[in-house]
Amino acid sequence: MPTHIRHGRSPCPVARSLDVLGDKWTLLIIREALSGTTRFMDFSHQLPGLARTLLSHRLKRLIALGVFETIPVSQAGHYHEYVLTAMGRELFPVVAALRQWGADYLFGDFEPRPCLVDRRTEMPDAPVGVQFG
């Protein structure tokens, strides 16, 4: 499995992670996949500012890195879905923490703040917590 782009030999896991996840579109593609999006056109519609060529490039890169895999959905193999691997699904707390941080610090006092809702219980998810020390 490829493990690097620029910081492959860096001793810092954050630097290595940012090589994979560090651009806006990659995290937004993963956010959409975590919300259930699997088809190319659905990613494209959910991310209207993202050019299809860039979406295709990012998805191919994430497949090569092991974050996504493709599953054929037609007999002829012309259509497939992009499905998160275990590695990709483990990014949920990362995306949830970024979402929580953005809601806490980057919205005005009177702006509505989105929150994550558990699909099974339809209740808001508990905030992501990290303990130091």
Q: State the virtual CA torsion across 14, 18, 22, 27 in degrees, nearest 10.
A: -80
Q: Model-level pTM?
A: 0.83
* Segment holding 95, helix H or strand E: helix 92-105
Which domains are assigned to the chain?
A: 13-85 (1.10.10.10), 91-133 (no CATH)
The DSSP output letter for 124 is B
Ramachandran area for residue 113 (φ above 0: left; ψ -120 to 50: alpha; else beta): beta
pLDDT in tens, 77-121: 678 999 999 999 999 999 999 998 898 899 988 888 777 777 788
